[in-house]
A and B are shown apart, each in its own frame.
Chain A
């Protein structure tokens, strides 16, 4: 299902099972109302989150990605969130170079008891993403590809070598 037009943006969450997923559950049990944009992917530990997952999520058009794990020193696997923090911090700093507004990505720590905190995190992050709006698609849009193709085809004028070149570009 695509996000509801005009209402929602595509926000993906990666949450560790022990703390933050539990915190989101606690928020649910407490009926702490939240925006509906976020979809949560459950992983055992924030240390399981490969930054490439996040990049893939953005490349495929997500408008925001939120990561949450156990508070430092509280990791169920003792040090997973330290690995996560190092990786995510670097990713965070690389965001502008990749061409994505850094505000689209956030990572935080929420424990299983912090339902209210989770509500706040979701609220704030969703608002921030909405403030920037939908992400600009990566690479060329279908329209751009088409425009370039037809331009090349026009100028090529049917010459075999140039036709090959056009095909190369198109692929």
Chain B
């Protein structure tokens, strides 16, 4: 085999602390190396042309580039060697930048280490084999998980782009958190007026299949060909018949049902349509409060339903869908403030969350848009807002900023003034974070035009005194302590990853950070991709975001899906396992360890043998290190290849002693 070695200077990035000429010199002495040189920028156009010319001139069979990390440019150089007429797997990279020149300054040790890494790469390359990707068809359907504004945007964009979309929403209606909001910042336009039409578009789009009250149960397969099992929860109403007339709600005698859509401000009926603009506008029964389901008698709803849609015996069902790509848009949940005992720990009735306040402000909310103190139903005149409840606080394991609370609090102070002109708002804040377009102007308006009083400092305690609340805190700008008498305290609760986020991530095989937010493939350059091909992210599942960013990411994810589907076929990665049928003893150990079920047992002349299902194997190599026979080998990372690297670093001692 004739190998060419190219040692990159990367300007002074590498050449500054590695003697690249000496590394090339050392490489020339390695067995198999027919050509070695140093080069200024291997990845630049002249650099790549230089490699191609050298391959052709010296009739090389393989190339080693010693430069940056393969995680950056392996794909680039594989294309280069392919252009030179070689198989793209006849290429290895030695990482002499991230792993050498950037982490040490000593020229001698760096040069020595770089030469070692090159020798390793050459040793491995000598064991490389030609590998050929296979083409496979893609199923141009996409599943979007989560029907909040990010998911809705992704669904509509994909559907408009001509794709068939499966939208899965866990609650009975799409709309997500945005549907609960009264107004949005910084325009103070009505949330449901801008979201509503989009929700209707989802319902009416011929390309969108909506599964509401459904959750993803299982995901298998790979990019282009995922198989998804969707669990459709029972709603006890036949949605094919339900017209959303709401007669059942009027007649239902169980009126004390907790109302999650209204953030448990007020109650609702056991059979319920969450809000007038719900999509789909279908009723569902809460089994915990339905008298019929609990005690076996009642059935009032069934009596009045004009289409006889009530099904008390409905069971949950599993639906199966096949898609080529998945967008996770599962959103966020709100921080549970009861952990903060100093704010009342959820005990004091007039201490509420910002989302509860939002529902009170909404004309279609439980109070008909009238702000009332939960304790006595009176209009509050003094409202205190406390910021960063569950944000930027290490003591509750939420060190991150939720990003949008400063803004929605400013909005709520404005709305408070609109609703109750003779009211006064106070805001306890840490810093005001308002970096969006027109955002800072907006917070200023809250202060200057609407007279909200901003107090920089943390609240130490909220307690009841008579029928008032006393909020005691520090004003860190004046260095004094301050007490404010309040009728209502609104906690700006932060965002956290949605419950069940990690379980879903494990099904999708994507990673998540310490707080359960999904990890993007690259924080700057691949913000909506994940490390699992064909799985994309949109909205707050990746981290707290406001509406414009969520919508932007929804569209970005959709464009990634459309790009992926712009080809009819994808290439499979040939770095997968292969069974040597002569060596395999059919013990089945690999079958039971493969996390993807990618190995099946076959009958070979009456004997059991293992066989890898090419399209399912992900190339982890767990089977290879399990097989007692060494019969199943992960291509490009075979035992021989890895041992060649080991031997290059640590030559066998006995051989050495007889040299």
Contact = CB atoms under 8 A, between A and B. Distances in A.
Contacts of A40: 95, 99
Given A44-B634, A61-B650, A21 B620 contact: no
Nearest to B655: A60
A131 B653 CA distance: 23
A1 interface: yes
Interface stretch (A51-59, A92-100, A150-158): A51-59
A48 B646 contact: no
B109 A4 contact: yes
A50 interface: yes
A1 B112 contact: yes
A48 B620 contact: yes
Interface stretch (B357-365, B385-393, B636-644): B636-644
A31 interface: yes
Given A48-B625, A59-B653, A60-B650, A28 B97 contact: yes
A60 B645 contact: no
Interface residues on B, range: 35 or more
Given A43-B637, A48-B620, A53-B646, A24 B625 contact: no
A57 B646 contact: yes
A60 B106 contact: no
Interface string B107-143: 0111011011101100000000000000000000000
A76 B595 contact: no
B511 interface: yes
Contacts of A142: 657-658
Nearest to B626: A83
A41 interface: yes
B642 A76 contact: no
B587 interface: no
A1 B19 CA distance: 15
B542 interface: no
Contacts of B634: 44, 48
Contacts of B650: 10, 12, 57, 60-62
B620 A24 contact: no
Contact of A62 (B106, B620, B649): B649
A145 B220 CA distance: 58
Contacts of B120: 39, 41
Given A1-B116, A21-B71, A12 B646 contact: yes
Interface string B381-410: 000000000000000000000000000000
Contacts of B620: 44-45, 47-48, 76-77, 80
Nearest to A70: B511
Contact of A44 (B69, B637, B647): B637
Contacts of B645: 41
Nearest to B636: A44
Contacts of A18: 531
A48 B618 CA distance: 12
Given A33-B105, A44-B619, A76-B509, A49 B625 contact: yes
A116 interface: no
Contact of B26 (A1, A27, A49): A1
Nearest to A14: B642
A133 interface: no
B212 to A, nearest CB: 29
Contact of B622 (A29, A73, A83): A83
A79 interface: yes
Contacts of B619: 44
A34 to B, nearest CB: 5
A56 to B, nearest CB: 6
B98 interface: yes
A88 B606 CA distance: 37
A117 to B, nearest CB: 13
Nearest to B619: A44
A104 to B, nearest CB: 13
Given A8-B112, A34-B103, A79-B622, 9 more contacts: A3-B112, A39-B120, A41-B646, A45-B620, A47-B622, A48-B637, A48-B642, A60-B646, A139-B654
Nearest first, the 9 A-B pairs at minimum CB distance are A28-B98, A48-B621, A60-B650, A77-B620, A142-B657, A47-B622, A50-B625, A36-B109, A45-B620
6 contacts: A28-B99, A44-B619, A44-B637, A57-B650, A77-B595, A77-B622
